């Protein structure tokens, strides 16, 4: 069960990440960003200067490139995320696309950001930033269990319990003949209220009383550089329905078969 949950979350995260990369950037922009990464690794100032935005890269110099290159590991770079930001200046909007690359091996890693500014038919290089790290940022926030504590296991158990309760109640609601306002019960049973969220990497948690979740649980990740956020919520309607059913006090239409209250089809 645990392996199935992990596999599903990882698959959904990978699909979502790639979909956002493709949605926020064009193939030409990704190719250009990759070319800029290789130029940084090679220390090719000429190639970088050819497309540098004169407004944002006026202070870019061979010395600055040398400093960035010294902090940037060699080898292949993995595109792990794309951001798109739009800014207003002097009544004009400018869009910047930030391409985040992960590079490195062993204990020498870095996140290299290539910032591009699409401007009509021309795309400019608007910035280069590097953050050196001592381990892979994607591995640091991976969905693992071996190094986790009691709170992570407790959270996973609560997520499974919340989902199971919602699904079980939903199925029983559909099978209960003569149930008054059945569609409201059905919709309510798949919603959880008052969300509890856990940073899977650090173990820090929080509570959001004014919130709801579909199927009462979720596992989301903002990108490969970010930690998993595991959430569960209280399936209030599902719990109320199951309690009323156990007490045989469900609101059943009197004209229906008395056996319907037990959920027998």
Give the CATH number of the domain where residue 86 resides: 3.10.450
Structure tokens, 51: 């497309």
Helix (H, G, I), strand (E, B) or coil at 112: strand
Choosing from 140, 166, 195, the residue where a domain stops is: 140
- Is 8 a domain residue? no
DSSP 212: E
Instruction: Print the domain residue range for 188.
Output: 150-262
Pairwise CA distance, residues 223 & 236, whole Å: 31
* 29 and 105 both lie in a single domain: yes
Whose tokens are 């004209």? That residue is 255
* 99 and 201 both lie in a single domain: no
* 154 and 131 both lie in a single domain: no
Q: Per the confidence metrics, is the pTM higher than 0.75? A: no
DSSP 252: B
pLDDT value at residue 158: 96
Q: Mean pLDDT of residues grouped by 10 in the chain (265 residues)?
A: 46 60 88 95 94 88 93 91 80 87 90 91 92 82 82 94 96 94 95 94 91 91 78 96 94 64 47
Helix (H, G, I), strand (E, B) or coil at 129: strand
Structure tokens, 67: 């400093």
* C-beta atoms surrounding 222 within 10 Å: 15
């Amino acid at each position: 069960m645990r392996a199935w949950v992990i596999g599903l979350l990882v698959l959904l995260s990978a699909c979502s990440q790639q979909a956002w990369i493709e949605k926020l950037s064009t193939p030409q922009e990704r190719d250009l960003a990759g070319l800029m990464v290789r130029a940084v690794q090679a220390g090719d100032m000429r190639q970088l200067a050819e497309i540098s935005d004169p407004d944002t890269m006026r202070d870019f110099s061979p010395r600055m490139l040398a400093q960035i290159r010294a902090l940037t590991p060699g080898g292949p770079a993995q595109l792990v995320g794309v951001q798109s930001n739009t800014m207003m200046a002097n009544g004009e909007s400018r869009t910047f696309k930030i391409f985040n690359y992960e590079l490195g091996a062993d204990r020498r890693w870095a996140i290299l950001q290539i910032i591009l500014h699409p401007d009509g038919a021309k795309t400019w290089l608007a910035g280069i930033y590097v953050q050196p790290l001592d381990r892979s940022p994607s591995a640091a926030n991976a969905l693992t269990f071996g190094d986790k504590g009691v709170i992570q296991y407790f959270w996973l158990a609560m997520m499974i319990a919340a989902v199971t309760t919602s699904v079980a109640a939903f199925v029983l609601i559909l099978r209960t003949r003569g149930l008054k306002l059945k569609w409201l019960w059905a919709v309510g049973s798949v919603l959880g209220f008052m969300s509890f969220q856990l940073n899977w990497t650090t173990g820090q948690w929080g509570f959001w009383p004014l919130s709801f979740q579909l199927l009462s649980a979720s596992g989301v990740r903002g990108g490969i550089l970010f930690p998993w956020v595991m959430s569960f919520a209280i399936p209030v309607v599902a719990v109320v329905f199951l309690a009323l059913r156990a007490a045989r006090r469900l609101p059943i239409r009197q004209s229906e078969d008395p056996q319907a209250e037990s959920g027998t089809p």
